[in-house]
């Protein structure tokens, strides 16, 4: 493990994607999606010993309805969720410093490393863009109830999204906005990678690979993560968690 974010190279593909844009392009995110009907399962997730942190409350409380910034977020139907992808405390498999976010793309998990060899683990859904970038970077900034602006490439494939273009001001925040209740914008060496961690109303896509987007969490989980991490939080995106 290295303590220097800048000493770790991005994948070639991710670096070229990052270099093509400026920091001001945060609003033009490739890392979001609208509803899709087909999903593919990833490989079986690892299963370290887990527990629910008493400060969370029980799952009915964690994933119950939430009133946030004037929006009414509905409860998650827990009986339909795979329990592996609910928020919980696990033994940290990453070996990273406390305070680091680790995205495990092989198993559809996000870890927030804590002291004492533990981590908060969240289930995530991953889109195509979620697999295209890997490496070390930082959470440059965060937004509550962000505006979503589909990139031109997505509009080219789905012309009906043109009404949400940057020219038209994007899709306004709300329960149906693909970025959900929060977004964390990932930069490498001061350059926007176009990689996002964000909320999603599509709870059923958690733990799955979807047709587009980056890293999505249930709205209740992205709100929890948002409140736990400051700007400049280090992040590692990898498909090799726990591999020496």
Active site residue 198: yes
16 Cβ contact list (under 8 Å, min separation 6): none
Query: How many residues make up the chain in this entry?
Result: 244
Task: Show the beta-strand stretches assigned E in the chain.
Answer: 40-41, 50-51, 66-68, 71-73, 88-91, 101-104, 109-113, 118-123, 125-126, 135-144, 182-188, 191-200, 208-209, 215-218, 234-238
The catalytic position among 31, 62, 214, 223 is 214
Give catalytic status of residue 31 as yes or no. no
Q: Which of 87, 108, 198, 216 is catalytic?
A: 198
CA 6 to CA 192: how far, in whole Å?
14
Annotated catalytic sites, by residue? 198, 214
């Amino acid at each position: 493990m290295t303590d220097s974010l800048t000493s770790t190279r991005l994948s070639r593909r991710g670096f070229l994607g990052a270099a093509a844009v400026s920091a001001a392009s945060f609003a033009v995110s490739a890392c979001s999606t609208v509803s899709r009907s087909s999903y593919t399962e990833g490989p079986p997730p690892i299963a370290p010993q887990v527990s629910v942190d008493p400060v969370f409350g029980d799952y009915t409380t964690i994933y119950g309805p939430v009133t946030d910034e004037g929006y009414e977020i509905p409860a998650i139907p827990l009986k339909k969720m795979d329990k592996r992808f609910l928020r919980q405390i696990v033994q940290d498999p990453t070996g990273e410093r406390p305070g680091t976010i680790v995205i495990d793309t092989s198993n559809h998990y996000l870890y927030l490393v804590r002291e004492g060899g533990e981590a908060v683990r969240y289930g995530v859904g991953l889109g195509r863009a979620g697999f295209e970038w890997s490496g070390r970077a930082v959470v440059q900034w965060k937004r509550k109830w962000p505006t979503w602006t589909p990139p031109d490439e997505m509009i080219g494939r789905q012309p009906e999204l043109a009404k949400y273009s940057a020219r038209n001001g994007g899709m306004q925040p709300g329960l149906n906005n693909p970025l959900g209740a929060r977004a964390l914008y990932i930069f490498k060496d001061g350059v926007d990678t176009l990689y996002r961690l964000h909320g999603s109303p599509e709870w059923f896509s958690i733990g799955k690979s979807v047709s587009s987007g980056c890293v999505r969490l249930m709205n209740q989980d992205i709100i929890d993560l948002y409140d736990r991490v400051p700007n400049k939080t280090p992040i590692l995106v990898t498909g090799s968690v726990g591999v020496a």
